[in-house]
Chain A
Amino acid sequence: MRILLDKFSKSFGAVKVIEDMTLEIKDGEMLALLGPSGCGKSTTLFAICGIHKVTGGRIYFGDRDMTDLPSQERNVGVVFQSYALYPHMNVAENIAFPLRIRNLPGAEIKRLVDEMADLVHIGNLLDRRPAELSGGQQQRVALARALVRRPNVLLLDEPLANLDAKLRLEMRSEIRRIQLETGITAILVTHDQVEAMSMCDRIAIMNAGQIIQIATPKEMYRNPRTTFVAGFLGNPPIAFVEAEARDGMLAVKNADIRLPVPPDAVTPPDGTPVIIGIRPENLGPEGDAIIRGRVSFIETQGRENLYDIKLENGSVLRSIQRVRDDISLDDEVEWRVRSDRLFVFAENGERL
């Protein structure tokens, strides 16, 4: 089901948390709400499921205006970060709870619970209490309970934050699998960009209560609209240097480095200060523009090394390359970048 937030705003007393946010989630799509802590992701989620009253704007599920309906009538499935399983019920009872509330007949409830338990692979745990389950298993139960009544939307608030690294990897694909199999519209709240990129069809990047950009993960990575987006996606992160437009080229401040304007950017008039973003994987032995600096740090990552190189003016760029033995700390290096992979931003952070 399509979800539409239309000019939605939310404030707590005098504190405006979200202002005039418009966001559409397509039917069957899984959207990631990605942003730093405190930017209003959970607030948005709570507004969609009706735990918060909105201060302004409308919320539609399909064509239906849900803004003033209580949570109980919105039929939204939510998986909380803490899973929020009912500790005094066993797994089967937990999953059955939404059906009980709907007064379904007992046999039907049993059938649906079993079906759901199979889907999330917990068929053998039905008699256990939540306290007797591992984090990943609790996660699955929470998912089953959210899905069993076929909700209009599935909301996931940092569902993986409490899991260890290995489980997180496993559940990432599990959740995606289940979402695809059920075809449900889903919103995933996270501040982990890897999670967002690997699980979702599209990503909405939020900052300070506003959506900065919505795009597919690939598009967003390749084509960030602002420095914030560019900085948020990518690990190791992008590096920025300040520069100035000069003679149709970009001259890095206080350094003897001149880079061409990438083909997709408009050439700024001379003297315009700009910010250049260079992703680590784009700085290396190949490319058409030269960058000189001194290796200031080497981080071994196994297959690859991450090199920090310090420019004349003190700013630091990062480069990720296969492990090379010919470079050591404090070496002067002369590397290159592909100018078509550069991002150029105006001083206010907007992409040029």
Chain B
Amino acid sequence: MSASRDIVESGPARIGTRAAPARPRFAWLNSSKGLGLVLIMPALLLVIAFFLAPVILTGVFAFTNMSTATGITGGAYQISPGALRVLTDRYGMGELAERLGQPTYVVDEQGLAALAEMEIDQDIIDGLKRRLGETFSSRRDFERVIRDLPTRPNTRTVKRISDAFSRSLANARFASAGALMSAAEAIDPELTDDEKAALREATYTGWSWTTDNFRRLITSPQTMRILFNTIFFVAATLLIFNTGFAMLLAIATHYIPDRPAGIFRIIWFLPRISPAVIYVLLWKWLAWDTGFLSAFLDNFGIRPRNWMLDSAFNAWVFVILINGFVGASMGMLIFASAIKAIPQSLFHAASVDGAYRWQQIRHIILPHLKWPILFVTCYQTLSLLTSIEQTLLSTDGGPGGATEIWSLAIYHTALNNYAGNLQYGYGAAMALVLVVIGIVLSLLYLRLFNYRALIIKPRIEH
């Protein structure tokens, strides 16, 4: 015990010799606040970049007409035939449109310089110089003038010369409104402000702000159909599988020995852990015209067909089955653990009473599942409302849009369709509807599950 004696002897005197370490270099890392802010920063950045910003941007994009045609960055100004038509039809400026659309020949310095480059006879250049500033509205008129020059160039040279003076704006593309205006003014110096504004708008190829998306969303008969599909899909899947069938599984596995119960739980878990692509592929194997179902039913004289897509009814059956099998597992787990948590004494009391199994279920199990059912319903409503993978991969909304649900419609509008014309703005408007529903419901859940109970003040206070 020499060691301890050493401590005794030197005890009080040496107290403090191994006193606390000097303040660490990053002292702020030592406070709750400092360390907390550092540790939460990455999460915060991700939230801002991939939740907050997209929510706002969904709202912003919903008020644009962005599409594959307009592009998503800024656009250019192009005097296309379409733009000229707009100028005529919408602004009633047919005359201006005609002028801009026609080929025009202007004798200017630029053209003369080009001639010099092309090593055209100096006499011709001089001859044309005399007519500097003149404008011709047709090629024939201008070429007649050239041909009438004293030097009389041959036909090929006349063509080359006239080309050098061609100042047509048809199909010309300008990067900015300024460039467009100066080009237009070269042809028609007396453009009014109204004409300029009209020209600018008619020729703009990029996207612009609009509220049309919402008008379209409200008035389109398609919207009603999709809305109805969505409500039907969510309600049916939720009721039949996510709660109903899940409960059946949970209760049934409760009444059988642990081993088989475990096996059934694993089987019913497969849909959830399987990647959607494969899971749906297996259903396709079951349903396709050369698939299992067709081959099996063939034995009974039923004509083989693609069961998944041959009628709207069958398509719905499969969509609900496919989504429901995935959804059932969550409810199954949650209900099963809720049933497990019911005190055994309740069951014993019941069996002494001579209650049969279904009475047990009705009077003991179901009352205990009230909260879990509410929880599952809440969570799964939102996830069904926004689920897309399984339906996209199985029916893709078919046949003929019969199983097109809201989230899938967004995908088809804005992200991927056969026509290749993606309407980002309209898709964003549709998405905005789901975003708003999502925010409202998740805030509602927060109320429902009273998060305040979860917040306990940290016990270390600095």
Contact = CB atoms under 8 A, between A and B. Distances in A.
Interface of A: 1, 12, 27-28, 50-53, 70-75, 99, 101-104, 114-116, 118-119, 149-152, 181-184
A28 B15 CA distance: 11
B12 to A, nearest CB: 5
B3 A119 contact: yes
Contacts, number: 70
Given A53-B461, A118-B1, A119-B4, A73 B11 contact: no
B20 A72 contact: yes
A122 B401 CA distance: 77
- Which has the most chain B C-beta neighbours within 10 Å: A52, A114, A119? A119
B20 A75 contact: yes
A70 B462 contact: yes
A115 B4 contact: yes
B21 interface: yes
- Which has the most chain B C-beta neighbours within 10 Å: A74, A152, A183? A183
B130 interface: no
13 contacts: A53-B462, A73-B23, A74-B20, A75-B20, A114-B3, A118-B1, A119-B4, A150-B16, A151-B15, A152-B16, A152-B19, A181-B5, A183-B12
B8 interface: yes
A70 B12 contact: no
A72 B21 CA distance: 8
A150 B15 CA distance: 6
B219 interface: no
Given A75-B20, A150-B16, 9 more contacts: A72-B20, A75-B16, A99-B18, A115-B6, A116-B3, A118-B1, A152-B15, A152-B19, A182-B7
A50 B462 contact: yes
Nearest to B9: A183
A138 to B, nearest CB: 20
Nearest to B17: A150
A102 B12 contact: no
Interface SS of B by simple majority: loop
Given A51-B459, A115-B3, A118-B3, A149 B18 contact: yes
A182 to B, nearest CB: 5
B3 A184 contact: no
Interface of B: 1, 3-8, 11-12, 14-21, 23, 30-31, 457, 459-462
Contacts of B5: 181
A118 B23 contact: no
A182 B11 contact: yes
A149 B20 CA distance: 9
A183 B11 contact: yes
A152 B31 CA distance: 23
Contacts of A72: 20-21, 30
A115 B2 CA distance: 9
Given A1-B15, A53-B462, A152-B15, A182 B8 contact: yes
A72 B16 CA distance: 13
A18 to B, nearest CB: 14
B11 A184 contact: yes
Nearest to A178: B4
A151 B8 CA distance: 14
A170 B457 CA distance: 37
Given A118-B4, A181-B4, A184-B11, A51 B21 contact: no
A73 B462 contact: no
Contacts of A104: 18
Given A72-B21, A74-B20, A152-B16, A183 B8 contact: yes
Contact of B460 (A51, A99, A103, A183): A51
A114 B460 CA distance: 31
Contacts of A152: 15-16, 19
A184 to B, nearest CB: 7
A242 B457 CA distance: 46
A260 B367 CA distance: 68
B21 to A, nearest CB: 5
Contacts of A70: 30-31, 462
Contact of B21 (A1, A101, A115, A118): A101
A28 B8 CA distance: 11
Nearest to B24: A72
Nearest to B19: A75
B460 to A, nearest CB: 5
A183 B7 CA distance: 9
B7 A119 contact: yes
A181 B18 contact: no
Contacts of A50: 462
B21 A181 contact: no
A77 to B, nearest CB: 11
B3 to A, nearest CB: 4
A346 to B, nearest CB: 40
Contact of B461 (A52, A101, A115, A150): A52
Shortest beta-carbon contacts, A-B, top 7: A183-B11, A115-B3, A119-B4, A73-B20, A75-B20, A149-B18, A53-B461
